[in-house]
Amino acid sequence: MFSRTQKINLSPIKQIEILASKIPDVVSLAQGIPSFDTPEVVKKAAIKALNKGSVAKYSLTMGLPELRESIEYALAQEGMYYDFEKEIIVTAGSIEGITASLIALIDQKKDEVIIFSPSYTSYAEAVKVAGGKPVFVNLLESEGWGIDFDSLERKINSRTAAILFCNPNNPTGTVYPKEDLLRIAILALKKKFFILSDEVYKDFIYSDPLQIASESANYKLFSLAQMPEYRNIVIRFFSLSKAYAMTGWRAGFLHSNEEIVKEILKVHDSLVTCAPVISQYAAMAALDFGGEEVKKFSKEFEERRNLICGRLDDLSEYLSYQKPNSSYFVFPKILGNKNSWEFALDLLEKAHVAVVPGVAFGPSGEGHFRVSFGRSKEDIDEAFRRIKAYFESQPKPILKIIPKKVKVHTLN
Amino acid sequence: MINNSLKKIVQFKLKWLAKIYLAENKPYVIVISGTTGRIWLKDKIIEALKERSFSFGANKKNFNAEIGLPLSILGLPGAEKDFEKWIKILWKGLKSVIPSKKKKSPDYLILEMAIDHPDDMDYLLSIVRPNAVILNGITAIYRENFESLDEIAAEYGKLIKALPWNGLAILNTDDQRVKNLANNFAGKVISYGCEDGADFKAFDIQKIFDGQQFKIEVQKKEREIFTKKINRFGKHHIYAELVKEVIKDNFKEQQKEFFGKILDMSTD
């Protein structure tokens, strides 16, 4: 009994949040929740659908056709062409879509899924839920958390079912360059595995003085889903949670080639029947009318990133970090190679600040922790005032590492 | 997104401003309707009119019901529940119908019309009457407020009945309910679809790695067949391409002037 679930852990982010909830004046920079409320236009659309009596029944398993049409239209604006009738599924957030896809792909002959370390905590657990084995490939911190292709190629074998990554990456904020993604696609074609690309942070890519100089205004995320030659191996995921401040609505979607979607749909149907219908109406309004709000959120997150980086600079005696170019996370390294779980628990107990231990994101996350700048500026300021006091009360680290210059990836 | 009393005032004023605008400018009105695929048809009609160098106005996405439609006719933005913005918009709308202040109006207006309740179409038709209607298909999308798909079809039938004697019904005859609507109209009907008998028929449809390839057969005095390749997936894009061909074939430069003259005569 429970042989599968006993290998699965509750997300450390949730564990930290549960512990944090017991401390009255805690400031949490742990969970990736935007501090904003869902845009008014989205809430109104949901209320309208509710009052019209449109939300009490199941939708089609794939989702409301008019929402899928809006999704197809939005994708086409970004150079991704998928048929709303056969190639798009509305999911209960992106993680449901990812899990359903893994269940569809993994079998007895191909059960290994490559995951970058560090990357989103729930990926490894989703692979285990699907009966697979997560195989970690460390990202190179010295290369701006870039991909170590030597290591990646060594880990690929006949049992590799898929590679699953988040681009931009959570927790490092890395945007993988086009040439790296194409290299992965070539490997996937050659070695016959699927690419699962989770792009939930694609709307939060920030300008960087160095990048602007080299890339001018053409600063957009490249996705393998834009390349028709890889339609048969790429499954792309998006969630409304982060971009539209809708984490509680559980609305997302996936898209891929018809034959792949047909198989995932069976799992999606057995897991959830359909995504919550009220959230589907909300998602439709978000995609159709929420574009300006996303831009506002992105601008605010960029300011918060600059604020948090400034506060981290003040702590250079204790921490080093890579300035993130996207998402709303930063992943500092604790100088002196501290155990990240011990650090996170100690910080929570003594400073009443919740952060996520780096090891939760994979083995190479050890010695780091993740902080979210999805929270308000006031929360960030207060948390860092406490973190500074915490470090100042600690013995000085024996080994001091000079912060490395950020590696800038080229985006196409 | 405005509260009810403000909505009623705005709706009333916009309706009459739109009606005055249409009476003054007499654009050729192409209405796109049906429960699905309107956005793709609109994009392709715009492409066709651009290729013919016609001037046109079109509604923005989802500006297709009681408030959005007159805004689209007047070429104005929306303001959600901001009272001051609505005052400015209505003022702009008023200026657009004052002869000394108005800008040059487009020759063609491409308007999506969406319904989600019985009798919605009556209200929309009280604002604007179409010169051409394109009906793509009737599916169960908005079914919750209708008894049956036949009731939805009857609502779309009102659009066809509203066409003038020299109007044009462009119908997707792959949908039997849409096909049946042709029986209600004595004027010109052009059919499109993938089934035999359509005036503009797509066949030999092949999904290729970067899109779809298919042949289009046009039933005219001389049968015409040509091949088309598009970088989109799904049958709705094939229908949109067929409609583009219908528009290109039926709206030629000289006909624009011809329709203008007819319109002038019919409103004198």
pLDDT 10s digits, B140-183: 665 667 778 888 889 899 999 999 999 999 999 999 999 999 98
**Are the beta carbons of A69 and B36 separated by less than 8 Å?**
yes
B101 touches chain A (CB under 8 A): no
| B244 vs B114, higher pLDDT | B244
A307, two tokens = 């604020």
The whole-angstrom separation of Cα B132 and Cα B130 is 5
8 Å CB contact of A228 and B1: no
Choose among A367, A340, A330: nearest CA to A168: A330
**Please, what sign has the CA dihedral across residues B64, B68, B72, B74?**
positive
Q: Nearest-5° angle of CA B179, CA B184, CA B186? A: 105
- Domain A5-37+293-392: state its class: alpha beta
Sort out which chain A residues have CB atoms less than 8 A from B85's CB and list them: none
Instruction: Note the CATH number of domain A40-290.
Output: 3.40.640.10
Interface test with B, best of A59, A64, A69, A278 (most B CBs within 10 A): A69
Compute, in degrees rounded to 10, the torsion defined by CA atoms B124, B129, B131, B136: 20
Any bridge partners for residue B217, and if so which?
B201, B225
Cβ distance B28 to B128 under 8 Å? no
CB contact under 8 A, A73 and B39: yes
**Predicted model pTM:** 0.88
B139 touches chain A (CB under 8 A): yes
Q: Does A288 touch chain B (CB under 8 A)?
A: yes
- Residues of B with Cβ-Cβ distance to A278 under 8 angstroms: none
Residue A128 parent element (H or E): helix A122-129
- Residue A193 near residue A144, CB atoms below 8 Å: no
Residue type present at position B68: G
The domain ranges of chain A are 5-37+293-392, 40-290
Convert the pLDDT of each residue in B61-105 to its tens digit.
777 778 888 888 888 877 666 777 878 888 887 877 776 666 677
> What is the 3-state secondary structure of A81-106?
CCCCCCCEEEECHHHHHHHHHHHHHC
- Which of A80, A85, A280 should be substituted to probe chain B, the one whose Cβ sees the most B Cβ atoms within 10 Å? A85
Task: From A70, A120, A119, select the one nearest A90 (Cα to Cα).
Answer: A70
B228 shares contact with chain A (CB less than 8 Å): no
Position B266 scores a pLDDT of 54
B141/A66 CB distance under 8 A: yes
For residues A96 and A267, what is the distance between their CA atoms, to the nearest angstrom? 10
Angle (nearest 5°) at CA A280 between A89 and B230: 45
Radius of gyration for chain A, computed over Cα atoms and rounded to the nearest angstrom? 21
Structure tokens at A180: 């790296």
With contact defined as beta carbons under 8 Å apart, do A348 and A356 qualify?
no
Q: What is the pLDDT of residue B263?
A: 59
A229·B210 Cβ contact <8 A = yes
Residue A292 touches partner B, C-beta closer than 8 Å: no
Residues on chain B touching A52 (C-beta within 8 angstroms): 116, 144-145
pLDDT category at B214 given cuts 50, 70, 90 is very high
Cβ–Cβ of B231/A228 closer than 8 Å? yes
Instruction: With a cut of 70, say whether residue B211 has pLDDT above it.
Output: yes
The ipTM is: 0.83
* CA–CA separation, B176 and A224 (whole Å): 40
Query: What is the phi/psi pair of residue A129, to 5°?
Result: -55, -40
Chain B residues within an 8 Å CB radius of A228: 209-211, 231
What per-residue confidence (pLDDT) applies to B42?
95
- Please state, in angstroms and rounded to a whole number, the distance separating the CA atoms of residues A361 and A172: 10
Q: Do domains A5-37+293-392 and A40-290 have the same CATH topology?
A: no
Contact (CB<8Å) B234/A84:
yes
Q: How far apart are CA B97 and CA B73, in angstroms?
A: 11
Question: Among A81, A84, A288, whose Cβ lies nearest the Cβ of B62?
Answer: A288
H or E segment and range at residue B99:
none
Q: Please answer whether residues A305 and A373 qualify as being in contact, where contact means their C-beta atoms are separated by less than 8 angstroms.
A: yes
Contact between B171 and B147 under an 8 Å Cβ cutoff? The reply is no
Least Cα distance to A106 among A130, A135, A123 occurs for: A130
A259 touches B at CB < 8 Å? no
Which of A147, A275, A252 minimizes the C-alpha distance to A202? A252
Question: Is B188's Cβ below 8 Å from some Cβ in A?
Answer: no
Distance CA A73, CA A67 (A): 10
Domain ranges (residues) in chain B: 28-58+108-267
Q: Using a CB-CB distance cutoff of 8 angstroms, which residues of chain B are in contact with residue A81?
A: 211, 231-233
Mean pLDDT over residues B196-224, rounded?
A: 93
Residue A168 DSSP class: S
% of chain B surpassing 70 pLDDT? 88
In order along chain A (412 residues), what is the average pLDDT of each group of 10 residues?
Answer: 86 87 92 88 93 89 94 96 97 98 97 97 95 96 94 97 96 94 97 97 78 47 96 97 95 98 98 97 94 93 94 94 92 89 94 95 94 92 96 70 43 38
* A309 reaches B (C-beta below 8 A): no
Burial of A133: CB neighbours in 10 Å, binned 0-12, 13-18, 19+: middle
pLDDT at A210: 47
Q: Is B213 on the interface with A (CB under 8 A)?
A: no
Set of chain B residues whose Cβ sits within 8 Å of the Cβ of A78: none
Cβ atoms A198, A237 nearer than 8 A: yes
Contacts of B236 in chain A (CB under 8 A): 83-85
A88-91 vs B108-112, strand pairing mode: unpaired
Please state the rounded mean pLDDT for residues B20-36: 90
User: What are the Cα distances from residue A276, in Å, to A42, A43, A68, A69, B140?
Assistant: 15, 14, 14, 17, 19
Q: How far is A88 from chain B (nearest CA, A)?
A: 11
CA pair distance A66, A52, nearest whole angstrom: 16
- Per the CATH hierarchy, to which homologous superfamily does domain B28-58+108-267 belong? Mur-like, catalytic domain (3.40.1190.10)
Residue B268 has pLDDT above 50, yes or no: no
Per the prediction, chain B carries an average pLDDT of 86
What is the residue type of B195?
A: E
Check if the beta carbon of residue A357 is closer than 8 Å to that of residue A285: no
Cβ neighbour number for residue A371 with a 10 Å cutoff: 27
Cβ contact B59:B43 at 8 Å: no
Cα–Cα distance, A174 to A180 (Å, whole number): 12
How does residue B119 score in pLDDT terms, banded at 50, 70 and 90?
confident
Rounded CA-CA distance B182/B212 in Å is: 29
Q: A55-76 burial, b if ≥16 CB within 10 A, otherwise e?
A: beeebebbbbbbbbbbbbbbbb
